[in-house]
A and B are shown apart, each in its own frame.
Chain A
Amino acid sequence: MDLVLVNLIDGLVTGLLLFMLSAGLTLIFSMMGVLNFAHASFYMLGAYFAYQISTYMGFWMGLLIAPIIVGIAGAGIERYGLRKVHQYGHVPELIFTFGLALLIEEVVQFIWGKSQMPYEPPEILQFTLFSISGNAIPAYKVFMIFVSIAIFLALLYVLTRTRVGMVIQAALSYPKTVEALGHNVPLVFMGVFGVGTALAGLAGVIAGPVLGTFPGMAFLLGSIVFVTIVIGGLGSLWGALVASLLIGWITTFAASYNVAMADVLIALGFEQPVDLSESAWRDLWSLTLPQIGPILPYLLMVLILVFRPYGLFGKRDV
């Protein structure tokens, strides 16, 4: 039972982190119809910028400044890169963001090198907040949870309760009409892109110290973020939240419970072959849950696409 609680907290941290990335991605997608392949690269940039700033001005300034820089960089890329490619259609846009992801990874390696950066949580949060039957829960994890929830609430407030949010929502469905009413829709697009990338940057700032700040971090998370928004339903903020938490918990629980496939198969009434190394099914028999944990999100995505193509909460058919 205690282990369940610890896993629930760990999964919550992973899930909320995923949500910070997927929220921006899904907003950008529903607005411009372009999937930003480089979204996780902005997350990586956030971590690296924050590390660089923290060496001069400490963690908190990094937390404040790095997302802003990432957001400005994102808005600039939208203005001078993506908008240029937009005229060629969606597929070249996707290819552009893919190239951007490659380029950002190379640039990061060029500036900071290939090794992991010694980016640490601030001293103030380096203590054990409480422990559940011997499993220490560091204060930083709780801090991460609070930051993510605060971001989610702020996003929800801005999108549903403010004038800017109304314009954004209107621009999502009827960009032409909103433009005719006198709003600068390209500016709104640029703003959303900037805020979305800034959110990814913020996720990088707070995740960097825990998950490690290294050039492969974008690649590790990148495809999972895509899976998340497909499962949640493209363009749905609630879907992104639910799918993020789902994936966070699935991967965490799968990693910590060592259920062997052999036990399951025996329980189902199959007989274990005497000589496993000769059997064609030897891989099936030797499987364990932690082994297949990392592929579960992809499996879930394929199943969702086959049986419910518009995702859990999505309205439009993918």
Chain B
Amino acid sequence: MSDTASNNGTAQRGGSRLGAATPWIVSIVILAIIPFVFTSNSAITIMNQMAITIVFALAYNMLLGQGGMLSFGHAVYMGVGGFMCVHIMNYVEDYSLPLPLPVLPLFGGLFGLGLATIVGSFSTRKAGTVFAMISLGVGELIAACSVIIVAFFGGEEGVSGDRTYGLPFFGIEFLHQIEVYYLIAFWLLLSALLMFLYSRTPIGRMANAVRDNPERAEFLGYSARWVRFFSFCASGFFAGIAGGLFAINYEILTEENLNLVQSGSILLITFLGGVGYFFGPIIGAVVFTLLQTVLSLETELWQLYVGALFVATVMYFPGGLAGILMMHMPAIRMGKAGLLVMPYIKTVLPAIIGTLGLAALIETIFHIRHAATGDEEMTLFWTTFNSHSVLPWLVMILVTVTGYWLTRRNLPELRRAWHEANTIDGSPS
């Protein structure tokens, strides 16, 4: 989870082999012990979901971040891989074939790869807008087919299976969530490592080159189209693995796994996390899953907030969360990050308070407009008040305005500190 290697290839060049392996060892340790920290069933469910989303987001970023191809229909490859896995699960159960469950995601991956090969053969001709549109069209086509082709997609109710189909794997029958967790964690590590190594191979490097300047790459003798095609296929393969993991975890797949909503949310997750760095989608998946599970319990409007966050990210921080984190690397390396702490507290804290105030206002307006008539009581931030009286409104407006005003006032100070922290003192050593 704390991988510091960037896919831009600047880091790690002179580092030792051990240095390169550190993030992976840390990840293994974290993944191994985290179920002992959060032991409740719901926590493990969330972690499973997170891990599956991470695999999918990393696969998606092979296209978006590393290949510069924006896909609006990537859920299809995950979904189809998942559907295939459920079918295999059912076949194995019906005919008692000797196929242990842990290898199942591989078949999902192969199926995703197969579909990506077919679609990629005509969709990777161009990148950018055209690719995005073809991916949208194909995605919609397959999603719409899922209601018609009942034999494979199961129609409206989808297809379901049972992961505990006989043949224990070294005595493990995957009855408990925790066993499934370790299975998913294993696949997460394996596919993340493979995807990382892929980005270091010549073909992975060429994907970056084609993303940045396809014309120049062609002059060097590489076919931009083939490079895109390979990235697309690899991405489809790992998306299929994510689908297989989804099938094992939830044991059911429906049309919802294929449609545009799913494809859109993976774009959101990846971009929020940051497409410029290999570990960006990981952050995105963790943050988004937490937002989804925690925020949706608190408020009906969570999608509005997520949407606003997304648009703000695209407009102001195109590097995503990972980009923001990595912006601080030079300052940290120079040992001047300490200079930033106070200005940050002075600007970010009021900004957070102001945003909470704004959110409170939005919630109150929503309550007034949509609550049952006569229901004027509402609870927000552990306070119950009457949404139709004036006082709470005044308080919320005051908090919002003061918060943003303080942020604005302290912003120049932060800017100065930022400049200070990023310049080398006196004589460069």
Taking beta carbons and an 8 Å cutoff, which residues of A are in contact with B? 29, 33-35, 81, 84-85, 88, 90-92, 94-96, 98-100, 102-103, 105-107, 109-111, 113, 219, 223, 226-227, 230, 280, 282-283, 287, 291-292, 294-295, 298-299, 301-302, 305-306, 309, 317-318
Task: Evaluate whether A113 and B370 lie within 8 angstroms (CB atoms) in the complex, with A35-B129, A102-B307 already known.
Answer: yes
CB-CB under 8 A from B268, the residues of chain A are: 99, 102
Contact B122 A95 (CB under 8 A): no
Q: Are B318 and A283 in contact (CB under 8 A)?
A: no
Q: Is the CB of B148 within 8 A of A94?
A: no
Q: Is the CB of A306 within 8 A of B315?
A: no
Q: A99-B268, A99-B310 are in contact. Are A305 and B134 (CB under 8 A)?
A: yes
Q: What are 5 A-B contacts defined by CB distance under 8 Å?
A: A84-B315, A91-B68, A99-B310, A100-B311, A227-B137
| Interface membership of chain B positions 292-326, coded 1 if the CB is closer than 8 angstroms to chain A and 0 otherwise | 00000000010110011011001100100000000
Q: Is the CB of A92 within 8 A of B141?
A: no
How many B residues face the partner with a CB closer than 8 A? 44
Write the nearest CB–CB distance from B179 to chain A, whole angstroms.
Answer: 34
CB-based contact A85/B148 at 8 Å = no
B150, CB-defined interface residue at 8 Å? yes
Chain A residues with CB under 8 A of B136: 223, 226
A298 touches B141 (CB 8 A): yes
Contact call A230/B133, Cβ cutoff below 8 A: yes
Q: A98-B267, A282-B151, A295-B145 are in contact. Are A301 and B129 (CB under 8 A)?
A: no
For the complex formed, measure the closest distance between the CB of B73 and the CB atoms of chain A, giving whole angstroms. 10
Q: Does B260 contact A (CB under 8 A)?
A: yes
CA distance A109 to B300 in the complex (A): 11
Query: Given the interface contacts A110-B366, A226-B133, does A95 sit within 8 Å of B267 by beta carbon?
Result: yes
Within 8 A of A (CB), among B120-161: 122-123, 125-126, 128-130, 132-134, 136-138, 140-141, 144-145, 148-151
CA distance A161 to B337 in the complex (A): 62
Question: Is A98 within 8 A of B141, CB to CB?
Answer: no
Complex Cα gap A99–B64 (Å): 16
Q: Does B111 interact with chain A (Cβ within 8 Å)? A: no
| C-alpha gap A84/B123 in the complex (Å) | 29
With A110-B362, A291-B148, A294-B144 as given contacts, are A98 and B264 in contact (CB-CB < 8 Å)? yes
User: Contact residues of B with A, CB < 8 Å?
Assistant: 64, 68, 70, 72, 122-123, 125-126, 128-130, 132-134, 136-138, 140-141, 144-145, 148-151, 260, 264, 267-268, 271, 301, 303-304, 307-308, 310-311, 314-315, 318, 362, 366, 369-370
Q: Which of B64, B130, B362 contacts A318 (CB 8 A)?
A: B130
Residues of B within 8 A of A298 (CB): 137-138, 140-141, 144
B129 touches A223 (CB 8 A): no
Identify which of B68, B126, B148, B369 contacts A113 (C-beta below 8 A). Answer: B369
State the main secondary structure of chain A at its contact with B: helix
Cβ-neighbour of A91 out of B128, B260, B311 (below 8 A): B128
Kindly state the separation between the CA atoms of A302 and B145 in the bound complex, as whole angstroms. Answer: 14
Contact flag A91-B151 (CB < 8 Å), given A223-B260, A226-B133, A298-B140 = no
Q: Give Cα distance in the complex from A102 to B136, angstroms.
A: 16
Q: How far is the CA of A314 from the CA of B213 in the complex (A)?
A: 25
Q: Residue among A287, A295, A309 with the most chain B CB within 10 A?
A: A295
Residue contact A230 to B132, C-beta cutoff 8 Å: no
Q: 6 additional contacts, CB 8 Å, given A99-B311, A106-B304? A: A35-B129, A91-B64, A111-B369, A230-B133, A298-B141, A301-B137
Closest to B128 in A: A90
- How far, in Å, is A80 (CB) from chain B's closest CB? 9
CA gap between A109 and B369 in the complex, in Å: 11
Contact A103 B307 (CB under 8 A): yes
Chain B positions within 8 Å of A106 at CB level: 301, 303-304, 307
For residue B405, give the distance in angstroms from its CB to the closest CB of chain A: 21
Q: How far is the CA of A113 from the CA of B369 in the complex (A)?
A: 9
Do residues B314 and A91 form an inter-chain contact, with CB atoms below 8 A? no
Q: Are A85 and B314 interface neighbours, CB within 8 A?
A: yes
Q: Are A92 and B137 in contact (CB under 8 A)?
A: no
Known: A113-B369, A223-B260. A283 touches B138 (CB 8 A): no
Q: Counting chain B CB atoms within 10 Å of each CB, which of A90, A99, A107, A298 scores highest?
A: A99
Question: Which residues of A are found within 8 Å of B128, using beta-carbon distances?
Answer: 90-91
